[in-house]
Structure 1
Amino acid sequence: MAIALGIIAGLIVLLLVIVALRPAAFRVVRSGLVRAAPDTAFAIINDFGHWSTWSPYEAIDPAMTRTISTPSHGPGATYAWHGNAKAGAGTMTISESAPSSRIAMRLVFTRPFRADNQVRFEVQPEGEGCRVSWIMEGRHGFMGKAMSMICDMDRMIGRDFEQGLANLDTVAHAAADPS
């Protein structure tokens, strides 16, 4: 019995060491072509008032409460949400807004877990439209490192980013060509 307990304790310690040694930093990047001019795509991303039309996270909880600052765009603009267990709660604040090219945000989750991440959108002309890159960077705490052993964060969040970029393409294309 003592040997079995020793083996179990050893495995637990080994697991804790493996989790502790995992990288803390993470980065998720997805890019997509948007069939609209850079200024059109930029204006939609840079204004939290438009996020309900394209963000993949809006559909998670239709009853989610949202609070959008006035003004709703540019540096200092904020978007706060409070939803069900899956949507969670948090705030986004635009920290940088370089017209038609780059938007940087601070993304703070307060529920279902705490996290403080940086998000960027980079918009570059490409052909008849533009390429939009959605980038999120942050650091995992111990629990985040443990979760990353089970869930592939790049794949999980990357799918959301891909859907959001496809939605953005649809919305921006319609705004650029209203006929």
Structure 2
Amino acid sequence: MKFIKWVLAVIVAIGLVLTVGGLLLPSTTHVERSTVIARSPEQVFATLDSFERFNAWSPWAEYDPQAKYTFERPARGVGARMRWVGNRSIGSGSQEITASEPHQRIVVALDFDGSQANATYLLAPEGQGTRVTWAFDTEHGMNPFKRWLGLLFDRMIGADYEKGLAKLKAMEEGVQP
């Protein structure tokens, strides 16, 4: 009986430490990657301000070649939306452009099976090209589990963002990846 009480006390203590510790972690997560593309901001913006070519450079398109995509009008700018249903690797969800500042910034609302986040593309002239910064932001609220998970986001999606930017660069510059 003492052993069972001791085990229960340890389980409760661990639960409290994880819960309280989780609440002390940041309530938001930010991940970003960038690259320079040898094209003007106008050219890069034209690609990013629409989902028509998204799967040509998306790091996730190859994870499920059988995924189903639907596109909603308008074709570009605020209100453009893409929905997908795929395998376990990519799940299902949608993304919608919510802000579009020509040649400078695009904000996309992401919905992954009910979990919301935002992606932002920042474009800035650099040398003879454009620096493209792709950022991911999400809020965890008071959920300690999501806050713990937030610590892993950079490792979870950082490499995909790098791969996507490399594919976007190759596509925009007309080079085979």
TM-score, length-scaled by structure 1: 0.88
RMSD: 1.6
Match of 1:146 among 129, 148, 163: 148
1:8 positional shift: 2.7
How does 1:148-167 map onto structure 2 within 5 Å?
148=150, 152-167=152-167
Runs ≥4 residues deviating over 4 A: none
How does 1:1-179 map onto structure 2 within 5 Å?
1=3, 2-110=5-113, 114-141=114-141, 142=143, 143-148=145-150, 152-174=152-174
1:53 positional shift: 0.9
Aligned counterparts of 1:132 and 1:100: Cα–Cα separation in 2: 11
1:167 positional shift: 0.6
1:115 positional shift: 1.5
Letter in 2 for 1:98: E
Check whether the contact 2:29–2:150 (CA below 8 A) recurs between aligned residues. no
1:51 positional shift: 0.4
- Aligned residue-pair number: 170
TM-score, length-scaled by structure 2: 0.89
Identical columns (%): 32
Check whether the contact 2:35–2:165 (CA below 8 A) recurs between aligned residues. yes
Which residues of structure 2 form unaligned runs of 5+?
none
1:145 positional shift: 1.9
Letter in 2 for 1:55: S
The 3-state SS of whatever aligns with 2:87 is: coil
Aligned counterparts of 2:19 and 2:98: Cα–Cα separation in 1: 36
